[in-house]
Amino acid sequence: MKVQAAVVHEAGQPFQIEEVELSGPKAGELLVKIVASGVCHTDEVAQHQGIPVPLPAVLGHEGCGIVEDVGEGVTEFRKGDRVSFSFGFCGHCENCLSAHQHACENFNAINFGGVMADGTRRLSQNGVELSSFFGQSSFATYAVVHQNSTIKVTDDTIDLALLGPLGCGIQTGAGAVLNRLKPAFGSSIAVFGCGTVGMSAIMAAKIAGCDKIIAVGGNKKSLELALELGATHTVNRKECDDIVAEVKKITNGGTHYSIDTTGVGDFVRKALASVRFMGTCVVLGATGDLTINVQQELMGDAKSLIGIVEGDSIPKLFIPQLIEYYKKGRFPFDRLIKFYDFKDINKAFADSHNGDVIKAVLKM
């Protein structure tokens, strides 16, 4: 079938909405009419080939929509179901079988290799195959998605267009706190970066009962919002000469946990330096080379430096939990979102990049 999709033909080229061909769902897959898709920094990284997704490609990986058709063997979903998507995984490697789908041994191939889980492609244009992204390519009016990566939305009172970002950025931040760190009640945490991932971590830290939640960022409006969403303190990196000293002052020696969402090596080191003896620092941003003195910055104080992918979550379980928190007013992620028309995709990315919006969501 012919659909409209935002195609990237060359590295760094703007998204171009064009007509492409989408083949129907194969065994275990769904054809979904896309309602909305979140805009994520990971899409931008792939657009500029920081992640070498084979081009040309249709990106987008925070989609949601309405099921139009199902392939052979699909029993969980039927036409008309409201669904959201998350990352792709193989389902049969050791990590998938032990409920660590975020650490699927084939994660990179499926999500960044341009192919679906079975190694084939569904998108083409003028006879040329196009790469998919995260097993969904949701920057399009329709997408084919595997049932394993699809979450049914049973509550008809929730605006479906809000839910796409739960599948990546939001579950990454919230899951790092609730699924992996599981902070003790009354503990302290510093979150570096007040974008979607950082704000989600802040809201999750409040749910977990952290006593001191410190938001570190450089956008005054974002820092003000962080306080409204659960932060107890803020540190403006543009106005503070010594961020680490300020965090230690607030917490009387350092936090129990810290999270870096920026991907900037210097901030990863600051986040690590901000935790106390036996503290844990989490890296959530795509970070390049980093040099540290292991004895002085890590081992000497018995600290831990860990990386977490996709919030260490099982999306079919965790995303419904986040929706329940949202319904109860405990996880107001809708306050991060601004909607854009699909045709304005390049503006949505520009606004996100410039800090004018925290989470841009495209409506198809």
> Are the CB atoms for 37 and 76 separated by under 8 Å?
no
Q: Is residue 54 part of a domain?
A: yes
Residue with tokens 């002085």: 296
Can you say how many angstroms the Cα of residue 353 is from the centroid of all Cα atoms in its chain? Answer: 15
Q: Tokens standing for 85?
A: 């998507």
Residue 31 and residue 130 in one domain: yes
pLDDT digit string, tens, across residues 90-149: 999 999 999 999 999 999 999 999 999 889 999 999 999 999 999 999 999 999 999 999
pLDDT in tens, 64-105: 999 999 999 999 999 999 999 999 999 999 999 999 999 999
Same domain, 302 and 336: no
Positive or negative, the CA dihedral 120, 106, 66, 350 is negative
Residue 353 token pair: 């990049």
Claim to verify: residue 37 and residue 186 sit in the same structural domain: no
Same domain, 34 and 157: yes
CB-based contact 182:207 (threshold 8 Å): no
Statement: residue 286 has pLDDT above 90: no
Q: Are 125 and 17 members of one domain?
A: yes
Number of domains in the chain: 2
Report the percentage of the chain scoring pLDDT > 70.
100
What is residue 287's three-state secondary structure? coil
The residue segments making up the domain with residue 220 are 173-308
| CB burial string 16-33: b at 16+ within 10 A, e below | ebbebbbeebbebbbbbe
Indicate left, alpha or beta for 224 from its phi (over 0: left) and psi (-120 to 50: alpha): alpha
At 345, the pLDDT band (50, 70, 90 cuts) reads very high
Cβ–Cβ < 8 Å for 144, 58: no
Prediction pTM value: 0.95
